[in-house]
């Protein structure tokens, strides 16, 4: 199975499990959505850069990614739970791109 297919499968499973969990435990929808959003962003980013794990500054880059993601989550916490999908997708893409650029800069590309 190619990395692209693994990423698609991972994203689908996490998204579906998050939707089922938020539907089942609707009182806890915001924390569930925050956790699933974090798993998607950080999981897919880790999968994308995992082949670089032997590079000297890989773990420093990943720790900066986790720190930046935590700051982003702090600032967008008032928007959870997400109601329109048109807000989630652009926000996720923008954050993913910024985190990928940060990781590439740390790795020295």
Neighbours of 45 (CB within 10 A): 20
**pLDDT greater than 70 at residue 83:** no
Output the DSSP codes for 83-109.
--HHHHHHHHHHHHHHHHHHHHHHHT-
Considering only residues 96 and 6, tell me which one the structure prediction assigns the higher pLDDT. Answer: 96
Q: Dump pLDDT digits (tens) for 19-74.
A: 788 777 877 777 888 888 888 888 888 888 888 888 889 999 999 999 999 988 88
């Amino acid at each position: 199975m190619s990395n692209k297919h693994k990423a698609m499968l991972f994203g689908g499973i996490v998204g579906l499990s998050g939707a089922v969990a938020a539907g089942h435990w609707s009182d806890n929808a915001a924390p569930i959505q925050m956790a699933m959003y974090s798993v998607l962003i950080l999981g897919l980013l880790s999968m994308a850069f995992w082949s670089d794990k032997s590079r000297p500054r890989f773990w420093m880059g990943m720790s900066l990614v986790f720190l930046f993601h935590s700051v982003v989550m702090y600032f967008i916490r008032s928007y959870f739970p997400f109601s329109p999908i048109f807000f989630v997708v652009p926000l996720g893409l923008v954050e993913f791109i910024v985190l990928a650029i940060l990781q590439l800069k740390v790795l020295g590309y």
